[in-house]
Structure 1
Amino acid sequence: MATGEVGEALRRLGISAAAIRLYLALLERAPVRLPELGAVTALTGAELAAAYAELVEAGLGSVAADGRETVAPLPPAAGLQLLGRRRAAELDASCITVAGAFDAFRRRRSGAFKNDLVEVATGEEIGPRLRQAWASACGQIRQLDSPPYFPIPTATDEALATLARGVTQRVVYSRESLEFPGNLIRSIEPCIAAGEQARVVSSVPVKLIIIDDACALVSLSIQEVDVHHTLLIVQPCGLFSALAALFEQTWHSALPLHASRTPSLRGPAGPPQRPLPADRRLLALLAGGVPDQDIARELGISRRTLFRRVELLMARLGATTRFQLALQAQRRGWL
């Protein structure tokens, strides 16, 4: 391995430049007397003693009782573990220090302006702030989803990557989310198949993303124009708690939405014959309140065929209305 790579690795572990130079020479010449090592590295006196003492403390060099003793490198496993733990503790302490400094700033600003709990992002600031917040999630993301959408071409890939690293995603989609051209196939169904927990309602009260218990992002986009004006970033406070409660209330009142490719049934109440994937998708669209013409277009069938399939499903489940159809399908695990 190149000495430059070893030196850089030691630097990242917190070893000083003089100690690194000494250690690299030690690897090449050991066993060797310490004064001879100092001559090779141009280290003398107190500087040499301090650099080698640093290696001994890190578990990388043998103890030298005096300057005449021969020294050698030690197996680094134990020393590297110690250095790694020490470095991690230093990074944690640094994070706490920076966070504490920001909290102090926020308290001062709060006392002066009373507005630091809600940050406003506009225009081109919105995309980076959305990506930054999404990437920071550690435990769960809760979302109320509806058009219009801010143009982020990598949004689906980022959502799939977040799911892959174990972050729980619970999303309530509006009917308009399912109707939005291509959104169901390109974005919603891949995320559900990857583990996203999804539900659907006719409309959501607000466009909302909640990242862990850290912040809530509220979109103030206007439906009638293709402009994305403002994003509010809400820190933990009374408003944040109200937004979290709003999400949970909407979640509990929404109908489950599953990927059409999922063939399994849940619960013992299903009929002997399992529904076809196309029927499951049809039921999911109906439950979301998607208009008939949009369902027919999504499924690639005529409206007449759509009506005939809905009538067959209603007869099969003993439903007299479409609401009863969605309810029965949910109870049997078809949604």
Structure 2
Amino acid sequence: MDISVIGVSAEAEELYRYFLRHRGEGIGSVRQALNLDPDTIEAAAEVLGRLSLLDLTDRHRVVATEPRIGIERLVEQRLDQLNMEIRRVLAARDAIASLVEDQRHGENSTPVLDIERVEGLDQVRQRLDDLGFFSYKETLCLHPGGPLSRGAIETALPLDTRSLRRGLAVKAVYHPKALDDPFMAAYLRDVVSLGGQIHITEDPMDRMLIFDRSVAVVPINPKESSRGALLVREPGLVSQLVTYFDGVWQAATDLRDFTEPSSGAPLLSDLEKRVLAVMATADKDEIAAREIDVSVRTYRRYVADLMARLGAVNRFQAALRAKEENWI
């Protein structure tokens, strides 16, 4: 039996029952009879007085209200409150008609393509930073020109590092001209060592960024990218751009294959070497990822890539073949 539903706490109920059994006693006698501290007794008494379950006019002679009167009154008050709340909830149905009308209006209106125009280089960079921060799966990039500026590289590397450490896939295709600059080449190697994937192609391509395959960013004017960008969220258009990216990506060459001789042991990044080192020793992916300070998703992506390159069917075999091929 629980009367807290009508506003009587367990302590207040205990106090109420005490005065029902001990008519005419004072508040001072309660502490000796009940295992309650003075503050709790005073608070419970105030609640009971407010609910008219106790008459506290004379605190040395407290009178408890007869239960059939006091409790029944509180039950009726609570039922009135619940009925009022039910009526308010049911009244929400009245909004259905107007909401349906809004829906009908939206269905009949002329659709507008979800394309946002962002002008100015600073504004574009801010929006790209926001899109990268709120992405949770992957970032795709096509960069047809030469190397980035020194300032752009200094801005891009922390963003790429943050994304990769969060477990995002970062895939980018660059033109070989980008490798002519030593700082740019070092930046791309850093991205690869952190878990990013870089491909190189001499084929023509359009500049673009795609976040989570749901938002594409293309320049307003392909010949003047500094003018601004278009943020495309229209699913049909984004899907076509993703298909275009996938085609360019598949036809391009991995950065390591492009810069390394085709014969002999491949040049592994530091991260790849560390992945190979823990593959055969760590019992769980979580432990291995923690040992080399990457996310579990990044670790598993590297394991899958290394196993495919080694032609191994399991991780232990991959570690053995890596040793046989003098990869580690």
Give the TM interval when normalised to the shorter protein.
Answer: 0.3 to 0.5
Give TM-score, length-normalised by structure 1.
0.44
Higher gyration radius (CA): 2
The structure that is helix-richer by fraction is 2
